[in-house]
Amino acid sequence: MSPISVLPGLPDPRVAAKGYAHADRLVSTEWLAAHLDHPTLRLLECNEDVLLYSVEHIPGAQQLDWHVDLNDQVERDYIGRDAFQSLLRAKGINEHTTVVFYGDKNNWWATYAFWVFQLYGFDNAVVLDGGRAKWIAEDRPTTTAVPTFPPTAYDAPTRNDGTIRAFIEDTRAHMQAGQPMIDVRSPQEYTGEKLHMPDYPQEGTLRGGHIPGARSVPWARAAAADGSFRSADELRAIYEGELGLTPGDDVVTYCRIGERSSHTWFVLTYLLGFEKVRNYDGSWTEWGNAVRAPIRQGENA
């Protein structure tokens, strides 16, 4: 895990004060406000509600539409190398730029985009602590102007799914080995009471419940009231104190399609310094529909 070194002032002292293992992976709204005009900075706003960007966004931010920009439009998978390369070139991003991800929903989709970029080894990236909501709540400047940047000649490597991504067969083996797994969905989804997030439509899952052995820790427990991440001590109390995890454990996270679980993956990997965390992005829309995939219902794992 290489350090972020392109931009000055990292790690951000306000973030470092929260005691994270890799504080250089987060920046505060104060830090971003002071560096908005830095020529090697690129902001990517990735929201669940893709219409929010056109309403207002941070000056200089470009929209990243997770539906179209990150996902293959035929197969259920992420875009291939050529498409990823073209995406970054068009947005003026290369190995000399630092990308700041942020978005709505306490950065669900920002950490999801960050995770997809990591599949391609794009490591010079950070997340805005508190995301879109915190920036706007502090009455910081916004705009409707859509920026453009000179295209780059970025050369993308081959995608590496083996380190931070778990497929269904990996997850089944993980379950059979009794390795720790975190279900970050709502308690009602975990027990099987609901087949979808509260206040969301049913999205095609045929069975409710959770993967045997998975522990329930809703993703939002990692977020403070203002949408920023809780301190390292508070996070350790949840994941190490309550679950008994240690940074050396092999952990799989999952949710519905991998967006909420990418938030917990980010917490464990960068804020607490866990050494091996994989996000099962197939998550419940795959597992809950798979023939003979074992399911447990109720509160017990």
pLDDT in tens, 53-111: 999 999 999 999 998 999 999 999 999 999 999 999 999 999 999 999 999 999 989 99
13-137: CATH homologous superfamily?
A: Rhodanese-like domain (3.40.250.10)
Q: Residues with Cβ < 8 Å from 217, sequence gap 6 or more?
A: 182, 183, 184, 238, 239, 242, 243, 264
Edge-first strand order for the sheet with 181-183 is: 215-216, 181-183, 250-254, 276-280
Domain boundaries for CATH 3.40.250.10 within the chain: 13-137, 168-287
**Which residues participate in catalysis according to the annotation?**
255
pLDDT at 8: 78
Q: Which residue has the higher pLDDT, 199 or 69?
A: 69
- Residue 167 three-state SS: coil
Instruction: Give the C-alpha separation, 157 to 146, whole Å.
Output: 28
Given a contact cutoff of 8 angstroms between Cβ atoms, the answer to whether 83 and 66 are in contact is no
pLDDT at 116 over 60: yes
Instruction: Give the C-alpha separation, 163 to 159, whole Å.
Output: 11
- Residue 172 three-state SS: helix
Would you give the DSSP letter of residue 226?
A: T
Per-residue confidence at 1, pLDDT binned at 50, 70, 90? Answer: very low
DSSP secondary structure of 56-120: -B-TTEEE--IIIIIB-SSSSSB--HHHHHHHHHHTT--TTSEEEEE-SGGGHHHHHHHHHHHHT
**What crossing angle do the helices spanning 108-119 and 259-266 adopt, rounded to 10°?**
80
pLDDT at 245 over 60: yes
The pTM for the full model equals 0.95
Task: Quote the mean pLDDT of the chain.
Answer: 94
* Average pLDDT, integer, range 287-297: 96
pLDDT at 7 over 90: no
CATH topology for 168-287 is Oxidized Rhodanese; domain 1 (3.40.250)
Distances (CA, A) of 251 to 142, 151, 215, 280, 282: 38, 38, 11, 10, 16
